[in-house]
Amino acid sequence: MERFKFNTAEIIKSMTKAHGATTVEHENGLHARPASVFVRTASDFDSEVAVSKLDDEGDADAKSSIAVISLGIEPGDEIKITAEGSDADEAVERLITLVEHDFEAKD
């Protein structure tokens, strides 16, 4: 019987979880164009990404415009971004930077 060999580093990397929080300062909150830019950026990652208001229990799929807009995030709201997957750290970092730079995508 052949045994499977796993690279421990690959297994741990594939199960990475990350989270971060920031405040939405954009005059439109997380609606319309800002939501579109946010969703497009989240969709660049393989990880599952979610966003929520910091003081709420519910979250939304950050890769769905309707889900993100349905959160009703307004200017001044604090949000939490969570990700799980191989590129979770990068996803959270890039989305927080995007929000903090008023949804101006940096390529």
Active site residues: 31
Counting every residue written for the chain, the total comes to: 107
37 sits in which H/E element: helix 32-42
| CA 45/CA 73 separation, integer angstroms | 22
Residue that is written with structure tokens 């660049």 in the block:
44
| CA 80/CA 19 separation, integer angstroms | 7
